[in-house]
Amino acid sequence: MKANTLSKVVQYRGTELNTKGWQQEAALRMLMNNLHPDVAEHPEELVVYGGIGKAARNWESFDAIVRSLKELENDETLLIQSGKPVAVFKSHTNAPRVLIANSNIVPAFANWDTFHELDKKGLMMYGQMTAGSWIYIGSQGIVQGTYETFAELAKQHFGESLKGTITLTAGLGGMGGAQPLAVTMAGGVCIGIDVDESRIDRRIETRYTDVKTDSLDEAIRLAEKAKKDGIALSIGLLGNAAEILPEMIARGFTPDVLTDQTSAHDPLNGYIPTGMTLETAAELRSADAEEYVKRSKASMAKHVSAMIEMMDKGAITFDYGNNIRQVAKDEGVERAFDFPGFVPAYIRPQFCEGKGPFRWVALSGDPEDIRKTDEVILREFSYNTHLCNWIKMAQEKIQFQGLPSRICWLGYGERARFGKIINDMVASGELSAPIVIGRDHLDSGSVASPNRETEAMKDGSDAVSDWPILNAMINAVGGATWVSFHHGGGVGMGYSQHAGMVIVADGTKDAEERIERVLTTDPGMGVVRHADAGYDLAIQTARDKGIKIPMLEG
Ligand code: NAD
């Protein structure tokens, strides 16, 4: 069965089309890429990352999506409802080829119970952020954001780098697996706990983690020695975080930096309760989901309580976007929100300038195409030393997973400029095939998520989700190749709404115009959203760049 289904995932490469145009081809290749065995965490279940974030609702839907994309005309638009293709309408050539709505539930019903009920009936799937919107690029997609976070943390607390510090975290999954690499890139030592050995092995194979151990004592010994010697080192430690943190406290160990990226946003599928193996957890999950969730939440409460204890002992502690504080708070941990989320603590100023996890993918499959675009970044953005350092480090340390791709945080103005350059390079033949340009939903103007991207907004507008809806609509109007609107990504059902966009640079004049429009409105929404909330940097950016905001004073 497994072999059968996976054989449907075909990795198309080169310049030959399997569809009626490069826009459809891009959607097809990116869907397949999301499920590439080197990219997806559980491709045989259509699961890409982030707990049960899927690319299609089931294999029948997958087949129908592939068929539809292959037949789709250049003036048609395919509609996807929670991973299932539901309609093809005639639109026009500059309209999106695909519109996607995933996991959306009417607000009063928007919780995991309703979701699981609908999921069981075959009416819904969990799209996470880039899983159901076909722009996941493996762990690289998050590495730079994670690096930006740790680099900013280092700047705020330790001078310029993490050298001579130990960061403790848990969760070495699709996204969390970027943490050890980002910490070592910032010069530090990382202990990354994961309860699933295969996840640690995968991070070692892809060079995101240096060594592994199942001994807590050995992990502490290795980490303290590297810290003393000022050496960057990442250690994968096998175990359950909710058990190991209290043991560390008992041994008198306090890390310098502390966070967590287990899939706590999904207590049923993303978090392993204490006292269980992966096997016993799987048995309980299918036999008694309610009991599983109860144990899982109780374990998260222990986990967060231990984090607070370590914070009190001096560890710089932050939430890394998995909603674990909310679960602990609901379980009665009064001080759960005593440590901040990573966005207000380290990232928001970047959002004010429309900066976020911009990415591009070589549809040719040829790494040389990405190398050439890297060179452009180094040349065109040479004034941005931090960005250029990132590109050089990425060239050296990032192993491509699936289609070659690159991520870098570009802001308003920069994205449109770079997009045009890429399109010109495709037109001139310098690049061997079109390039897909997209981003994470975790971006400056595309998310409403009060425990994450919009935590502690200056004007209290944390829960206002008009912004991502406007983001999706303006990007669709501008002619993005596909646009998505999801619920529950990152932090789980009920806690977020967010939009995605992807646009193809196929070298045509039409594409150039679409790129100019969409890569302006998309980061523009980030600047506008933060200017509206009263952030001076966003207001200044809007003024400097001439973004029209009708009610901006002065
Ligand atoms: P994933 O499901 O691929 O990986 C989660 C990992 O946690 C797995 O390897 C699992 O074995 C491990 N785990 C579960 N329970 C554990 C426990 N008790 N102790 C130790 N390890 C345990 O998920 P992912 O894609 O890596 O995402 C992780 C979380 O981070 C999600 O909640 C996701 O929504 C969030 N996220 C944050 C950001 C960000 O930028 N901050 C971005 C994307 C995702």
Q: Is 501 in the pocket of ligand 1 (CB under 6 A)?
A: no
pLDDT, position 554 = 56
**pLDDT beyond 50 at 134:** yes
**pLDDT beyond 60 at 505:** yes
Average pLDDT of 197-210?
A: 95
Q: Is 53 in the pocket of ligand 1 (CB under 6 A)?
A: no
Average pLDDT of 140-159?
A: 91
Average pLDDT of 36-47?
A: 96
* pTM as predicted: 0.92
Band (412; pLDDT cuts 50, 70, 90): very high
Q: How far apart are CA 309 and CA 246, in angstroms?
A: 9
Average pLDDT of 345-357?
A: 96
**pLDDT beyond 80 at 4:** no
Q: How far apart are CA 147 and CA 342, in angstroms?
A: 12
Q: Is 195 in the pocket of ligand 1 (CB under 6 A)?
A: yes
Which three-class secondary structure string do you get for 383-408?
Answer: CCHHHHHHHHHHHHHCCCCCCCEEEE
Centre of ligand 1 to C-alpha 28, Å, is 27
Q: Is 185 in the pocket of ligand 1 (CB under 6 A)?
A: no
Select from 48, 172, 175, 260 the residue to mutate for testing ligand 1; criterion: most ligand atoms less than 8 Å from CB: 175
Residue 96's nearest CA partner among 440, 504, 447 is: 504
Catalytic residues: 408
Q: What is the pLDDT of residues 63-103, one digit of tens each?
A: 999 999 999 999 999 999 999 999 999 999 999 999 999 99
**pLDDT beyond 90 at 516:** yes
**pLDDT beyond 80 at 2:** no
Geometric angle at alpha carbon 293, from 288 and 298, rounded to 5°: 130
Q: Which atom of ligand 1 is nearest to the CA of 129?
A: 43
pLDDT, position 253 = 98
Q: Is 145 in the pocket of ligand 1 (CB under 6 A)?
A: yes
Centre of ligand 1 to C-alpha 121, Å, is 26
Centre of ligand 1 to C-alpha 490, Å, is 9
Residue 386, Cβ density class (10 Å: 0-12 exposed, 13-18 middle, ≥19 buried): exposed
Centre of ligand 1 to C-alpha 263, Å, is 3
Average pLDDT of 217-232?
A: 98
Q: Is 262 in the pocket of ligand 1 (CB under 6 A)?
A: yes
Centre of ligand 1 to C-alpha 313, Å, is 25
User: How many residues can be counted in the chain?
Assistant: 554
